[in-house]
Amino acid sequence: MDSCVALIFLSMIPLTTAEIVKLVDGGRRCAGRVDMFYIGQWLTVCDDYLDIRGAAVVCRELGCGEVLDVLSDAHFGPGPETMWSYTRACNGSESTVNKCGARDFEEKERICDTTEGAGMICSEVRLVGGSRCSGRVEVLHGETWSTVCDADFDQQDAEVVCRELGCG
């Protein structure tokens, strides 16, 4: 098992606007291992600190729907040997990861190996123009959100959307 010292970005060092986030090896744009570009390289986020609130921000930043699941233990396969002990604290309403605050943590060396990569799944369906559980149904097709035509949508389809979004 390969292991390495995780890069620790202390809370006093702000993340730059050059940071980029992507989901890798999930089979679609809105699912996969969480990788972030920082200081000239892609780093896989260590699963210790990424929670549902941070994942919601990543989904939003990537133009995906609601976060469906946050996964650990390199669910989508190992990333590069260098891992990132993610040190941002999101409340879930931020538009980008850069707008999340700094997380307080003890300054110490953290060992994080390639089996500890964070992963997540975002929905590719959303409801707009209403509340979280009501509204017009849109699906993500490539990079574009498109409204579902009501002629092609029935009760069974509505139940699938509600289940996927956790709306009962």
CATH number of the domain that 84 lies in?
Answer: 3.10.250.10
Based on the fold, state whether residues 141 and 110 are members of the same structural domain: no
Residue 50 confidence class, pLDDT cut points 50, 70, 90: confident
If one counts every other C-beta atom within 10 angstroms of the C-beta of residue 48, the result is: 16
Taking 90 as the threshold, does the pLDDT of residue 1 lie above it? no
Q: Which of 92-96, 100-104, 117-121, 153-157 has the lowest mean pLDDT?
A: 100-104
Mean pLDDT of 94-98: 88
Query: Which pLDDT does position 25 carry in this prediction?
Result: 94
Whether 146 maps to a domain, the answer reads yes
Based on the fold, state whether residues 159 and 113 are members of the same structural domain: no
Mean pLDDT of 25-40: 88
Whether 1 maps to a domain, the answer reads no
- The number of domains in the chain is 2
Whether 49 maps to a domain, the answer reads yes
Amino acid code (one letter) for 154: D
Whether 98 maps to a domain, the answer reads yes
How far is it, in rounded angstroms, from Cα 76 to Cα 26? 6
**151 Cβ contact partners less than 8 Å away, ≥ 6 residues apart:** none
Q: 108 versus 79: which is more confidently predicted?
A: 79
Q: Are 104 and 111 in contact (CB under 8 A)?
A: no
Taking 50 as the threshold, does the pLDDT of residue 8 lie above it? no
Based on the fold, state whether residues 76 and 134 are members of the same structural domain: no
Mean pLDDT of 8-31: 64
Based on the fold, state whether residues 106 and 71 are members of the same structural domain: yes
**139 Cβ contact partners less than 8 Å away, ≥ 6 residues apart:** 124, 125, 145, 146, 148
Based on the fold, state whether residues 16 and 94 are members of the same structural domain: yes
Quote the domain boundaries for residue 22. 7-122
Taking 80 as the threshold, does the pLDDT of residue 99 lie above it? yes
Residue 45 DSSP code: E
User: Whole-prediction pTM value?
Assistant: 0.76
- The rounded percent of the chain whose pLDDT value lies above 90 is 24
Based on the fold, state whether residues 34 and 100 are members of the same structural domain: yes
Q: Are 36 and 84 in contact (CB under 8 A)?
A: yes
Question: What average pLDDT does the structure give for the chain?
Answer: 79
Residue 57 confidence class, pLDDT cut points 50, 70, 90: very high
